[in-house]
Amino acid sequence: MRWFPPRPNRRAAPPPPVPVSPLALLMGRDEVALAGLRGRRLVRGRRVLVTGACGTVGSALCRQVRRLEPEALCLVDKDAAGLARLGRELSAGPGGEPGGTAVTLAEADVRDGGRVDRVVRDARPDLLFHTAGQNELAKVEQDPCRGVADNVVGTRHAVDSAVRHDVQRMVFVSSDKAAEPTSVFGATMRLGELLLQTATGGPTCFAAVRVGNVIGEAGALLSLLAHRISSGEVVTITHPEVARHFMTVAEAAGLLIEAAALAEEAETFVLDMGRPVPVVELVHRYAEQLRLPEVTIRFSGLGPGEKLAEKAFADSERRIRTAHPKIWGTRPAPPPAGLPQLLDELAAAAGAGDDVRVRLLLRRLLPEYHPVRRPLPAGDPPPSGPSGLCDARSFHTGCSPDPPGL
């Protein structure tokens, strides 16, 4: 009898597991790849202007836009030093050599309508991304006049200039807090969305994007958490059940570019971020990543205007599918009659520093705005941010001071 050696097992070895990024583990979902071919076709060879260019989302957007090879990129911000740094970075190519995109800088405060108009006139953008504004929920709740000036009046200036100078497309960065708002911040974001609708029908195509709480590898939220956990300090959270939508800065920037390509009728777009992430879970997940599973958490109570959880769309808004499987949109109902006159009254009240009238006008303008005026816990520092995390230095009611969120 002849002996034959056993056949080798020819079955292919299973592929190695795909590594999961630390941010994906924190968010409880995979990061969504955005700003692909559709975005490149939109941006390449065109002139682009970004307000709030030095913010977390604004700077990430500028970097993504720069890689898509626009003809020109105009960076607008009131932070002169930040503009200079970002301008030097974006003026060089990947290897440090001069790039092919003309990068220009414009120092401007969006509350100054004349200055905004001159910047848009001189830059002649085809695409305008408006990310400038006050995005700390608690600060806006404390100073509604400044919040209205930055987020409503400033957005109105950008919209008016876009129409006046024939900008092809304008995208406004809103927030998930605009859906059934309970805070002044959410109300100003909702009004920003309505402003786009009042300007439709002309040469400019508008879109709004609701962004969740933005996190990144070097973001302020994670830096604060890392410091507190590694130092054995207490991490303060507003409520045991508070939950938020989290997204990466790359997702936020990519979503803006995709929205510019998808826009038709002043739609509001949202990334499918799944269910809101409990902030307590996020803290524990991050502690495990730092190999410091022991973390002490205390709860301070929800602050004024805060919800336990946000939702991407109001119950009254009809969701529509888009060409991107992970992006949803909605076409809100027409703006209320008399909106321009009420907006004039709102701007005048904000300019006069009349907090009471500003809050009253917000409720007249937005029937869906139901303010929550919780008192702050005795002895706690004033709030300054909406993410569920608290810190006397830069966090209290819950989110990165620059989320965009924003």
Q: Which amino acid is at 170?
A: M
Answer yes or no: is 78 within a domain.
Answer: yes
Answer yes or no: is 13 within a domain.
Answer: no
The CATH code of the domain that includes 38 is 3.40.50.720
Query: What predicted TM-score, i.e. pTM, was given to this entire model?
Result: 0.86
Sheet holding 389-390, edge to edge: 297-299, 235-237, 389-390
Q: What are phi and psi of 171, to 5 degrees?
A: -120, 130
**Residue 377: CA atoms inside 13 Å, Cβ hemisphere, count?**
15
| Residue 340 belongs to domain spanning | 23-390
Write the CB contacts of 206 (distance below 8 Å, at least 6 apart in sequence): 159, 162, 169, 170, 171, 172, 196, 197, 199, 200, 263, 266
pLDDT tens, 18-56?
A: 445 677 777 878 788 776 788 889 999 999 999 999 998
pLDDT tens, 119-143?
A: 999 999 999 999 999 999 999 999 9
Answer yes or no: is 360 within a domain.
Answer: yes
Q: How far is CA 331 from the centre of its chain?
A: 19
State which residues of the chain have pLDDT below 70.
1-21, 35, 93-99, 217-220, 374-406
Answer yes or no: is 14 within a domain.
Answer: no
Q: What is the Cα–Cα distance from 222 to 229, expressed in whole angstroms?
A: 10
Q: What is the Cα–Cα distance from 187 to 366, expressed in whole angstroms?
A: 7
Q: Which amino acid is at 375?
A: P
Write the CB contacts of 324 (distance below 8 Å, at least 6 apart in sequence): 34, 38, 258, 262
How many domains does the chain divide into? Answer: 1
Answer yes or no: is 406 within a domain.
Answer: no
Answer yes or no: is 397 within a domain.
Answer: no
Answer yes or no: is 269 within a domain.
Answer: yes
For every residue of 308-373, DSSP letters joined together read SB--SS-TTSPEEE-SSTTEEEE-PPPPPTTHHHHHHHHHHHHHTT-HHHHHHHHHHH-TT-----
Answer yes or no: is 400 within a domain.
Answer: no
